[in-house]
Structure 1
Amino acid sequence: MSADEKDREHDTRTLEKAEEGGQTATGPQQKKIVIPGVIIIPIWMACSISVILYNKYVFTNLNFPYPVFLTTWHLFFSAIATRVLQRTTTLVDGAKDIEMTRDRWMKTILPIGALFSGSLILSNYAYLTLSVSFIQMLKAFNPVAILLISFAFKIQEPNGRLMAIVLMISVGCAMAAYGELNFEMFGFICQCAAIVFEASRLVMIQILLHGLKMDPIVSLHYYAPVCAAINLLIMPFIEGLEPLYNLHRVGILVLVSNAGIAFALNVAAVFLISVGSGLILTLAGVLKDILLISGSVLAFGSEITALQVLGYGIALGGLVTFRTTGGK
């Protein structure tokens, strides 16, 4: 849950909505809430890193290997939190600009929410067997998946620059995977599937919403209840009642703080997209990824080979090129 490709694509429209009253104070002369970049960027980075490391800690150190339950709890928490914010703050005012009919909900929110749910569950399942550092390296493949699906749906036409980016990131990720010392096929397949689900979700947003833009909080407001309901339907068939029997391993404090940090990441993302240029946000994202990989090495003793460092460096080069050129 972070502010990557989708947030960058929505920057301009989000700011326009904010000026019209989307994320502002009430009254004739509305003022947009802005937090300086030197403050919000470190906060966003800290939340993003903390969410991933905290989830890994819950799965491994606390021996609570139930990704579907944890994801469902996060979404249930977010569904309630966004509605509380809607009644007490202006952060969810962007929802007022969206006419959510039953037909639109069925054709857009439901299918996109299903992809979102699948992405979250599969990504969390990958953390059961793969290291945080390796998963983060694999996530660099996200732009390639987005481009390939965009090509398939004829949203974007392939050109020499895009194909060079695809090749660069693909080679880098392949080197990172080949150099992984503790490779697990199950986790690898889960993460690859999560990337496909997430890329498909972002492409479907472009196709189905037709310019209807949502910031991270408004997106959660609509998608969290849908995803939580979908997860509740499939959880009995995957994890059964085992998570409930083992809740004593984590405790209420860990559950609430874990979900709270995940939700705080989305709040930080709202303010993040209103500060700095695309280059600043891209560099902040790259620095966050490097710090996350370093943190996983320190926190969980993950081993990284020289081949992985080289491969990830190549993939990052392609990733930065993709984001700074707007994927054109």
Structure 2
Amino acid sequence: MIGKSLLLTYLYLLIYIVLSSGVILYNKWVLSPKYFNFPFPITLTMIHMGFSGAVAFLLIRVFKVVSPVKMTIEIYATCVIPISAFFASSLWFGNTAYLHISVAFIQMLKALMPVATFFMAVLCGTDNLRCDVLLNLVLVSVGVVISSYGEIHFNVIGTLYQVTGIVAEALRLVLTQVLLQKKGLSLNPITIMYYIAPCSFVFLFIPWYILEKPEMQVSQIQFNFWIFFSNALSALALNFSIFLVIGRSGAVTARVAGVLKDWILIALSTVIFPESTITGLNIIGYAIGIYPPI
């Protein structure tokens, strides 16, 4: 029985690594002007949110797979709305970064996620500032600086987009802990998508209407139903797999699997996208950035 349980855990981790790497590479391919040429990251994110919300609605309201939680106006206003806003922002800025910087460099910048999450947790009062953690934060920051210095195709705009997305994701994670746990809500991946995805879609609609809708009206958009359907389906499967991995093996194991996934993704991106070159300084800086156990 122990062997089967361990095998199932490894299977979940493998599914997570494959889906996460696949979605990132797929998004890069769709958004990049050199490939599918759909340079509208907000639109792509809205498709993901709309699809996820529709699937969650069908599973809950039509097929009755799970039951919705008792949602009050207070919980919706204090939990769902702010979390959805930061979730939409992190996806928007993260996808926009693909237009400016390589997949490999994006993964290296994501080493800053523990730094951003820790500082947001300190500001929200869920964690305390400690000397040992501060030392680790300095090492992570030094590693990211080295990686950035060694980046051949360094782009300030793309880097700012990615860092902003990281900060937004850190705020989302901390708010989820602060708001949802204190409210005592018991949510699963389906109910989370049921409440978060439609609200995130609304938040994305405003910048889409201002920034991308006018440009889409004058440009010749290459729309392929099966491309966008499979892309949205992959993103939905990834969201489910993340919760399965965390529920099966815990957040620490998920983070270790994430590091392994990042190394694989960095290597794959240089093969799939030849313009994504990496240097020795990139590798050294990233190794320093992910080493400290925050």
Normalised TM-score (structure 2): 0.90
Identical-residue share of aligned pairs (%):
34
Q: Which shows bigger deviation, 246-255 or 299-308?
A: 246-255
Given that 2:38 and 2:221 are in contact with CA atoms closer than 8 Å, whether structure 1 keeps it comes out as: no
Shift of 1:50: 0.7
Aligned pair in 2 of structure 1 residues 238, 253: CA closer, same or farther (>3 Å)?
same
Quick one: distance in 2 between partners of 1:89 and 1:36?
27
Aligned pair in 2 of structure 1 residues 213, 58: CA closer, same or farther (>3 Å)?
same
Out of 213, 217, 222, the residue aligned to residue 240 of structure 1 is 213
What residue in structure 1 maps to residue 170 of structure 2?
Answer: 199
Out of 242, 266, 289, the residue aligned to residue 293 of structure 1 is 266
Amino acid at match of 2:209: P
Out of 171, 179, 187, the residue aligned to residue 214 of structure 1 is 187
Amino acid at match of 2:63: T
Quick one: distance in 2 between partners of 1:246 and 1:56?
20
Aligned pair in 2 of structure 1 residues 279, 106: CA closer, same or farther (>3 Å)?
closer
Given that 1:136 and 1:293 are in contact with CA atoms closer than 8 Å, whether structure 2 keeps it comes out as: yes
Q: Does 1:305 align with 2:276?
A: no
**Structure 1 residue runs of 4+, over 4 Å off?**
244-248
Aligned pair in 2 of structure 1 residues 35, 114: CA closer, same or farther (>3 Å)?
farther
Amino acid at match of 1:70: L
Q: Does 1:136 align with 2:110?
A: no
Quick one: distance in 1 between partners of 2:251 and 2:229?
33
> C-alpha root-mean-square deviation of aligned residues, in Å?
2.2
Out of 100, 103, 122, the residue aligned to residue 71 of structure 2 is 100
Structure 1 residue matching 2:187: 3-state secondary structure: coil
Q: Does 1:184 align with 2:158?
A: no
Amino acid at match of 1:88: F
Structure 2 residue matching 1:36: 3-state secondary structure: helix
Q: Which residues in structure 2 correspond to 1:158-173 (within 5 Å)?
A: 158-173=129-144
Normalised TM-score (structure 1): 0.81
What residue in structure 1 maps to residue 255 of structure 2?
Answer: 282
Shift of 1:208: 2.2
**Which blocks of at least 5 consecutive residues in structure 1 are unaligned?**
1-33, 323-328
Q: Deviations over 1:12-32 (max 9, x none)?
A: xxxxxxxxxxxxxxxxxxxxx
What residue in structure 1 maps to residue 49 of structure 2?
Answer: 75
Out of 88, 102, 117, the residue aligned to residue 63 of structure 2 is 88
Q: Deviations over 1:242-277 (max 9, x none)?
A: 446767524101010000100011222232223335
Quick one: distance in 1 between partners of 2:124 and 2:254?
28
Shift of 1:214: 3.2
Q: Deviations over 1:31-55 (max 9, x none)?
A: xxx9912322211111101111000
Quick one: distance in 2 between partners of 1:189 and 1:278?
27
Q: Deviations over 1:268-299 (max 9, x none)?
A: 22322233355543332211111111111111
Aligned pair in 2 of structure 1 residues 133, 227: CA closer, same or farther (>3 Å)?
same
Quick one: distance in 1 between partners of 2:175 and 2:250?
26
Q: Deviations over 1:160-215 (max 9, x none)?
A: 22112211211111111111100111111111111111111112222222153534
Amino acid at match of 1:36: L
Amino acid at match of 1:50: G
Amino acid at match of 1:300: F
Quick one: distance in 2 between partners of 1:88 and 1:194?
35
What residue in structure 2 maps to residue 8 of structure 1?
Answer: none
Q: Deviations over 1:297-318 (max 9, x none)?
A: 1111211111110110011112
What residue in structure 1 maps to residue 118 of structure 2?
Answer: 147
Given that 2:49 and 2:201 are in contact with CA atoms closer than 8 Å, whether structure 1 keeps it comes out as: yes
Amino acid at match of 2:131: G
What residue in structure 1 maps to residue 95 of structure 2?
Answer: 124
Quick one: distance in 2 between partners of 1:245 and 1:84?
35
Quick one: distance in 1 between partners of 2:57 and 2:212?
29
**Which blocks of at least 5 consecutive residues in structure 2 are unaligned?**
1-5
Quick one: distance in 2 between partners of 1:291 and 1:157?
33
Quick one: distance in 1 between partners of 2:71 and 2:84?
15
Structure 2 residue matching 1:274: 3-state secondary structure: helix
Aligned pair in 2 of structure 1 residues 279, 232: CA closer, same or farther (>3 Å)?
closer
Q: Does 1:253 align with 2:226?
A: yes
Quick one: distance in 1 between partners of 2:83 and 2:129?
25
Structure 2 residue matching 1:191: 3-state secondary structure: helix
